[in-house]
A = this chain, B = another copy of it.
Amino acid sequence: MSNYSTKNLDRFSAVFNALSNPHRLQIYTILSGCCTPGTACNMDIITSCCVGDLGSELDIAASTLSHHLKELSHAGLINMQRDGKQVICSVNSEMLNDIRQYFQGNPEVHHESQTG
């Protein structure tokens, strides 16, 4: 593919790499469900998006969970923000839209959109 930028290729392959691990995909799926994409995870309504709550669903070591969250965050798939003692995780809706566009075959995403 000559008119598909290497930049996008690397960006999306990193995204899919982040989702390629069952634990990370599970985390992302949980976050997709608890936080309506497009809205910041509203903790007044739903209270299950902090790291500890994710951990209680996954049965892996805390250090492993932390590592996976860093991967998802680094790929741009999720946002993490400290709130007191807790760290709140939520889906990055901009990246979710980019992914949707990729699979829709949208030229904005497929052919170098150079907006950044």
Contact = CB atoms under 8 A, between A and B. Distances in A.
Given A4-B29, A29-B9, A110-B33, A20 B20 contact: yes
Given A105-B32, A110-B33, A4 B26 contact: yes
A80 interface: no
Given A16-B16, A16-B20, A105 B37 contact: yes
Interface of A: 1-2, 4, 6, 9-10, 12-14, 16-17, 19-22, 24-26, 29-30, 32-33, 37, 57, 96, 99-100, 103-105, 110
Given A4-B30, A19-B20, A100-B100, 20 more contacts: A1-B57, A4-B29, A4-B33, A9-B22, A9-B25, A9-B26, A10-B22, A12-B19, A13-B21, A13-B25, A14-B20, A16-B17, A16-B19, A16-B25, A17-B17, A17-B20, A33-B105, A33-B110, A96-B103, A100-B103
